Amino acid sequence: MDRFEEFGRRVDEEVARLKSIDSFEEFGKRVDEQLKRVKSFVKEEVKPETEKRTAQFLREVSEKLTEAAGWIEARHAARKGQTAQDSQNPESTQTPPSS
């Protein structure tokens, strides 16, 4: 059972206990306790895993952006090379004289 399932099971157990509470004050105390537990769970379990996955995602995006930049630079260089080639052979771009 993974940690999220275990957490869900514990929440279900606590909800069942809360249903048996007689006074509003006792209910408020239980809610406060559970909020502390949820905050602790998020801080200790969810946050580190989220940060880990976010870092990996950013690395992957960075690689893709690097590839895209290389592709754009190659296209630009190819166009620039074609322009330079056309300027060296002006006859190839001119139309032949009409007779």
pLDDT tens digits along 19-37: 776 777 887 888 899 899 9
Of the CA atoms within 13 Å of residue 70, those in its CB half-sphere come to 6
What whole-number distance in Å separates Cα of residue 39 and Cα of residue 32? 11
Measured distance CA(24)–CA(15) in Å, rounded:
15
Amino acid 27: pLDDT: 77
Other CB atoms closer than 10 Å to residue 14's CB: what's the count? 15
CB-CB neighbours of 68 under 10 Å: 10
pTM here is: 0.48
Read off the tokens for 31.
């809610």
Q: What is the pLDDT of residues 49-97, one digit of tens each?
A: 999 999 999 999 999 999 999 999 999 999 988 877 777 776 555 555 5
Q: Cβ distance 93 to 84 under 8 Å?
A: no
Q: What is the pLDDT of residue 1?
A: 60
Domain ranges of the chain: 3-75
**Tokens 């602790």 found at:** 40
Identity of residue 18: L
